[in-house]
């Protein structure tokens, strides 16, 4: 007998039939003797539809009103699931984020959870009722409805699991676990039995949208046992754990990618101290996050500085840079949004030297030019032309022995290389 939080994503609640199937699964879990709290996303495509409605009125709607609108999507699915559960003779109650005690800061559209008071949910669970909570939303101290950023229902689920001290948080989605890379891009991607929080965090931050980054952060911080599973098929899914057993520590675990960034290049920046700080300071003041940064070697008295930002932030970045152009004295600004980032992730690369050269060599063999490079202890990321993204992902995946048929051998192959 345990307490389980089950989260179902948009595709999993995308139609009445699917909501009925979710109800069946929740009933089975309860019949197995568990207390069950459920967190739902909006029906698939609904959040995009609501966003589109807003943008038909205004390109830049007031964040508070946008949250009021977007939060409605999840309310539809929780009410429908409760009806489906009650038709099956179960006691179930739906809760908005605020009703579930989820208090956030006031940063509309990207709010962060501050506290959760799970008393109401706990009372339900102890009385044998199923609590069904709207993901992606909460309320700030002034009771304004807030949302947690796209994909935020994952974070709602993990945070509730932490607050309820659940035995496991299960994320049900349209793939049967975390794969070595997105199975929609690489057919030979293999499901991972386990992945560490650290690797999952790096995969998510490099673009693997199977889990929202903050959900992984939360799960790691509060040690919530987290599992990604399919809502359509049975299976063990992928366990996100603190450490992998030593035997199975491959050098690389996966390849992530991201098409959301754009490259900004600033040409002929005067070569003197403080200039990079001034340029990136202006970008930071505009509240724009910068990812990869590269500064070319000086040719005489100037050099070029390039960095990447989210594609949506390009117009604001250009405005911020134009405002300091005369003061800093650079020659020109260029923006290129036809780029993609491909990242290789693995805790094992900490202790292994040849990973970067093998990755770069693989890209060279395919004739793919590397525009920028960024590394961390457990990641190597490259910026390339967007046209070569799929080719790059597949060839790196294969070069590191991650292809499905070879996955059992991958550990051994990589071990052999080490020797």
d(CA 245, CA 162): 24
Other beta carbons within 10 angstroms of residue 7's beta carbon come to 28
Smaller CB separation from Mg ion, 151 or 254 = 151
Phi, psi values for residue 325, rounded to 5°: -60, -50
Query: Residue 40 CB, nearest distance to ligand ASP (Å)?
Result: 9
Query: Residue 5 CB, nearest distance to ligand ASP (Å)?
Result: 14
Query: Residue 153 CB, nearest distance to ligand ADP (Å)?
Result: 7
d(CA 400, CA 392): 12
Smaller CB separation from Mg ion, 9 or 73 = 9
Query: Residue 261 CB, nearest distance to ligand ASP (Å)?
Result: 19
Decide if residue 41 touches ligand ASP (CB under 6 A): yes
Q: Which does 174 bind (CB under 5 to 8 A by kind): Mg ion, ligand ADP, ligand ASP, none?
A: ligand ADP
Token output for 231: 């809502």
Among 4, 5, 6, 11, binds ligand ADP (CB under 6 A): 11
DSSP for 126-174, written as a single string: HTTPEEEEETTEEE-TT--EEE--TTTHHHHHHHHHHHTT-SEEEEEES
Token output for 233: 């098929």
Among 135, 151, 220, 346, binds ligand ADP (CB under 6 A): 151
Decide if residue 14 touches Mg ion (CB under 5 A): no
Query: Residue 153 CB, nearest distance to Mg ion (Å)?
Result: 7
Decide if residue 151 touches Mg ion (CB under 5 A): yes
Among 5, 6, 10, 134, binds ligand ADP (CB under 6 A): 10
Decide if residue 202 touches ligand ADP (CB under 6 A): no
Residue 237 — left, alpha, or beta (φ > 0 → left; ψ -120 to 50 → alpha)? left
Q: How far is CA 234 from the centre of its chain?
A: 24
Q: Which three-class secondary structure state does DSSP give residue 58?
A: coil
CA diameter of the chain: 78
Any idea how long the chain is? 419
Phi, psi values for residue 10, rounded to 5°: -55, -45
Cβ(54)–Cβ(25) below 8 Å: no
Q: What is the DSSP letter of 193?
A: S
Decide if residue 401 touches ligand ADP (CB under 6 A): no
Query: Residue 257 CB, nearest distance to ligand ASP (Å)?
Result: 19
Q: For the packed helices 275-285 and 314-328, what is the interaxial angle rounded to 10 degrees?
A: 140
Q: Which does 136 bind (CB under 5 to 8 A by kind): ligand ADP, ligand ASP, Mg ion, none?
A: ligand ASP
Per-residue mark of binding to ligand ADP, 208-247 (x: CB under 6 A): xxx-------------------------------------
d(CA 128, CA 34): 9
Query: Residue 363 CB, nearest distance to ligand ADP (Å)?
Result: 20
Other beta carbons within 10 angstroms of residue 280's beta carbon come to 15
> Site size for ligand ADP, by CB under 6 A?
19
Query: Residue 73 CB, nearest distance to ligand ASP (Å)?
Result: 6
Cβ(291)–Cβ(283) below 8 Å: no
Decide if residue 97 touches ligand ASP (CB under 6 A): no
Q: What is the DSSP letter of 260?
A: -
Which residue number is nearest to ligand ADP in terms of Cβ?
9
From the list 41-49, 103-111, 231-239, 298-306, the region that binds ligand ASP by CB under 6 A is 41-49
Smaller CB separation from ligand ASP, 14 or 177 = 14
Binding residues (CB under 6 A) for ligand ADP: these are 9-12, 41, 151, 173-175, 178-179, 181-182, 184, 203, 208-210, 254
Binding residues (CB under 6 A) for ligand ASP: these are 9-10, 41-42, 47, 73, 135-136, 150-154
Binding residues (CB under 5 A) for Mg ion: these are 9, 151
């Amino acid at each position: 007998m345990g307490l389980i939080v089950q989260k179902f994503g948009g595709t999993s609640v995308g139609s009445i039939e699917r909501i009925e199937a979710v109800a069946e699964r929740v009933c089975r879990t309860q019949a197995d003797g568990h207390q069950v709290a459920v967190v739902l996303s909006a029906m698939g495509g609904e959040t995009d539809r609501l966003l589109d409605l807003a943008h038909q009125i205004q390109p830049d709607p007031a964040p508070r009103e946008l949250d009021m609108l977007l939060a409605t999507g999840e309310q539809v699915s929780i009410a429908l699931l409760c009806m489906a559960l009650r038709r099956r003779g179960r006691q179930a109650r739906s809760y908005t984020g605020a009703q579930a005690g989820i208090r956030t800061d006031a940063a509309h559209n990207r709010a962060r959870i501050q506290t959760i008071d799970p008393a109401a949910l706990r009372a339900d669970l102890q009385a044998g009722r199923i609590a069904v909570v709207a993901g992606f939303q909460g309320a700030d101290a002034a009771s304004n409805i807030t949302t947690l950023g796209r994909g935020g229902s994952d974070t709602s689920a993990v945070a509730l699991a932490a607050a309820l001290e659940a035995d496991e948080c299960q994320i049900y989605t349209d793939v049967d676990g975390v794969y070595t890379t997105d199975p929609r891009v690489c057919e030979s991607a293999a499901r991972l039995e386990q992945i560490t929080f650290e690797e999952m965090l790096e995969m998510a931050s490099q673009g693997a949208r199977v889990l929202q980054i903050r959900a992984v952060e939360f799960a790691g911080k509060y040690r919530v046992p987290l599992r990604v599973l399919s809502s359509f098929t049975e299976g063990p899914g992928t366990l996100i754990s603190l450490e992998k057993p030593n035997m199975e520590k491959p050098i690389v675990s996966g390849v992530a990618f991201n098409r959301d960034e754009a490259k900004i290049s600033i040409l002929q920046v005067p070569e003197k101290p403080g200039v990079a700080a001034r340029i990136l300071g202006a970008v930071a003041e505009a509240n724009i996050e910068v990812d990869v940064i590269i500064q070319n070697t000086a040719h005489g008295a100037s050099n070029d500085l390039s960095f990447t930002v989210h594609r949506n932030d390009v117009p604001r970045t250009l405005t911020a840079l134009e405002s300091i152009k005369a003061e800093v004295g650079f020659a020109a600004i260029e923006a290129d949004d036809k780029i993609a980032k491909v990242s290789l992730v693995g805790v094992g690369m900490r202790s292994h030297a040849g990973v970067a050269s093998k990755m770069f060599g693989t890209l060279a063999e395919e004739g793919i030019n590397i525009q920028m490079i960024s590394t961390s202890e457990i990641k190597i990321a490259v910026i390339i032309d967007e046209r070569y993204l799929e080719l790059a992902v597949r060839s790196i995946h294969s070069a590191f022995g991650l292809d499905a048929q070879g996955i059992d051998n991958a550990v051994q192959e990589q071990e052999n290389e080490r020797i």
